[in-house]
Structure 1
């Protein structure tokens, strides 16, 4: 049998989500986490990451980029995404607090106001500074 990598661009949306889950889960395994994929978004999470300490459990939502959504507020959700060779896993509400405090999300932000979401394909400088402590 010969193995050949499949370009990410050739994957459909569901295949990309599966790919991203396995990449993030593999990275988390290096830090003592076992990841359990959920069949539906339980309390907003795509998967649960359980640490070997037996006390740390993270509800994780997979995204393709830096992302905020009103439906995750107050649910103790962590957002995971891949960018290049880097993996990021950050607490949603901590990012929301930073964005609100810095005025980067206000009444002028139509996507937030109308759809309850805001995302950045390429995080701005303040976003990269925030993400630096959540890169693994």
Structure 2
């Protein structure tokens, strides 16, 4: 492979799932660097996190789970997990339990929701209007 070919852009859709996760990590980590975070990739999910984001203040450490979209998962409840995902040119890093509290308070999610009740998950390929408003605070 020539050097010129090595620097040809590769469409995201041509990457396998592991390559997509690596791609997303680097995109999110680069964006978080603009906000003073150094992101350390973990070799396995530690306490639900794919990576740790350490702020330059020396006091702020975020456990971050990479996802492809806005989502909730019962396995992250109470673990101080932030969820990061990329949508178009935007990067979002939001506290999982804050989103859960909002959705529950609005009545948009309860044990009557089949996917939540039976699978412990809920995700939105396109954020609904309330999701867009929530995410506005967490756009990097």
Could you tell me the TM-score, scaled by structure 1's length? 0.99
Separation in structure 1 between the aligned mates of residue 125 and residue 114 of structure 2, nearest angstrom:
17
Runs of 4+ with >2 A deviation: none
Separation in structure 2 between the aligned mates of residue 84 and residue 35 of structure 1, nearest angstrom:
21
Alignment of 1:46-85 (within 5 A): 46-85=50-89
Could you tell me the TM-score, scaled by structure 2's length? 0.96
Which has more radius of gyration? 2
The equivalent position to 1:41 in structure 2, one of 42, 45, 53, is 45
Give 3-state SS (helix, strand or coil) of 1:78's partner. strand
The equivalent position to 2:124 in structure 1, one of 111, 120, 124, is 120
Separation in structure 1 between the aligned mates of residue 81 and residue 111 of structure 2, nearest angstrom:
24
Separation in structure 2 between the aligned mates of residue 106 and residue 22 of structure 1, nearest angstrom:
34
Separation in structure 2 between the aligned mates of residue 38 and residue 133 of structure 1, nearest angstrom:
26
Task: Could you tell me which runs of 5 or more consecutive residues in structure 2 were left unpaired when the two chains were aligned.
Answer: none
Shift of 1:107: 2.9
Separation in structure 2 between the aligned mates of residue 112 and residue 5 of structure 1, nearest angstrom:
38
Whether 2:28 is the aligned partner of 1:24: answer yes
Separation in structure 2 between the aligned mates of residue 6 and residue 49 of structure 1, nearest angstrom:
27
- Aligned-residue CA RMSD in angstroms? 0.5
Shift of 1:106: 1.9
> How many residues of Structure 1 are paired with residues of Structure 2 in the alignment?
136
